[in-house]
């Protein structure tokens, strides 16, 4: 089966920046593009195959047609025709709201399909760009509610100045926020469930405060404090480095200066490759080829056994 690329879903938002269009080499005259949804099965925001044998098919249609050949036997048994991951590039020119996501059990208690665990991989961001991940010191649920009401909740949050190649794992329940100037890749469960904790008293285009979900968030927040919420790893050249291994996805980073063969013959899953910098070519065992350069995302079907990566390219590899 051929490797698959999708048309990006470009989302223009008030906080969007100007990095995504040139990064993805797109001939589009769009501004304030905050997100490029690379692979999405979210209802009403589904990815469409860009070219090849399956051109024009929505992701859900592709899964329904190819089943375990696309996603793997165990994944198809677990998720059925729903693709389990949502893959994005995000560019923030303004501070996003402080938010938290429920876990699967909490989401289902509110009539939602699933929660959201995610991760961020930081790309070339603005100098001084910061983000929020986790609590800086212990607070109680009662103190949390009071701090939201009196505008001091940000005092309790752990803030990080970020640099390229930083990684943050965000399990459901961890308070977080993307700050102004951050440019990153995001990998997450297929879910659009977000509880907004605090929005800095900003008003929307209609002059209204955006809805907060203080009560719902309080039920989901993990109030445990950790020493460091930044993922610690040692970058290496020409070999994979695992960044996150959780029940929802496993992600590694590769920084290649020479050709490399990736062996997936023992893996029962699709694989997603996201190019972060450089350019090259992907060649599978059937000699199918696709270009692969910064800003491109490629879905490898579960039937893929071997991929040869040619060129000088840095990329994320994710599977379930």
Catalytic one among 11, 180, 196, 230? 196
* Helical spans, DSSP H, in 80-121: 104-109
**What gap in Å lies between CA 252 and CA 256, rounded to an integer?**
13
196 is catalytic: yes
Q: Which of 200-220 are b and which e, b meaning 16 or more Cβ less than 10 Å from the residue's Cβ?
A: eeeeeeeeeeeebebebbbeb
**What gap in Å lies between CA 142 and CA 139, rounded to an integer?**
8
**What gap in Å lies between CA 299 and CA 71, rounded to an integer?**
10
User: CA nearest 18: which of 35, 3, 36, 31?
Assistant: 31
Residues ≥6 apart with Cβ < 8 Å to 281: 289, 290, 291, 292, 309, 310, 311
What are the backbone angles phi and psi of residue 263, rounded to the nearest 5°?
A: -100, 115
Alpha carbon distances (Å) from 132 to 3, 30, 175, 191, 250 = 36, 28, 8, 21, 23
Q: Tell me the residue ranges of DSSP E strands in 228-305.
A: 241-245, 250-256, 260-263, 271-284, 289-293, 297-300
**What gap in Å lies between CA 138 and CA 316, rounded to an integer?**
34
| Burial class of 127 by CB neighbour count within 10 A (0 to 12, 13 to 18, 19+) | exposed
Among all residues, which ones are annotated catalytic? 196
């Amino acid at each position: 089966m051929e490797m698959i690329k999708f048309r990006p879903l470009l989302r223009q938002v008030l906080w969007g920046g100007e990095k995504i269009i040139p990064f993805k080499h797109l001939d589009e005259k769009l501004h304030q593009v905050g997100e490029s949804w690379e692979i999405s099965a979210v209802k009403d925001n589904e990815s469409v195959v860009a070219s090849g044998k399956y051109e024009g098919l929505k992701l859900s249609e592709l899964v329904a047609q190819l089943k375990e050949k696309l996603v793997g036997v165990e994944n198809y048994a677990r998720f059925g025709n729903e693709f389990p991951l949502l893959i994005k590039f995000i560019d923030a020119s303004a501070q996003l709201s402080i938010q938290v996501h429920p876990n699967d059990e909490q989401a289902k208690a509110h009539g939602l399909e699933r929660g959201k665990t995610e991760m961020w991989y930081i790309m070339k961001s603005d100098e001084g760009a910061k983000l929020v991940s986790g609590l800086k010191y212990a607070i109680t649920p009662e103190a949390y509610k009071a701090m939201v009401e009196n505008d001091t909740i940000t005092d309790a949050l752990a803030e990080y100045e970020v640099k390229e190649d930083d990684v943050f794992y965000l399990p459901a329940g961890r308070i977080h926020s993307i700050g102004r100037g951050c440019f990153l890749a995001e990998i997450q469960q297929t879910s659009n469930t977000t509880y907004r904790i605090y929005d800095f008293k900003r008003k929307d285009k209609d002059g209204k405060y955006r809805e907060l979900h203080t009560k719902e968030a309080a039920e989901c927040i993990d109030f445990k404090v950790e020493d460091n919420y930044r993922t610690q790893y040692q970058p290496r050249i020409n070999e994979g480095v695992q960044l996150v291994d959780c029940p929802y996805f496993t992600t590694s980073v590769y920084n290649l200066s020479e050709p490399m063969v990736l062996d997936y013959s023992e893996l029962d899953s699709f694989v997603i490759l996201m190019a972060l910098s450089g350019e090259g070519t992907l060649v599978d065992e059937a000699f199918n080829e696709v270009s692969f350069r910064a800003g491109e995302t490629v879905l490898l079907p579960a039937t893929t056994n071997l991929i040869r990566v040619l060129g000088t390219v840095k990329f994320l590899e994710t599977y379930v």
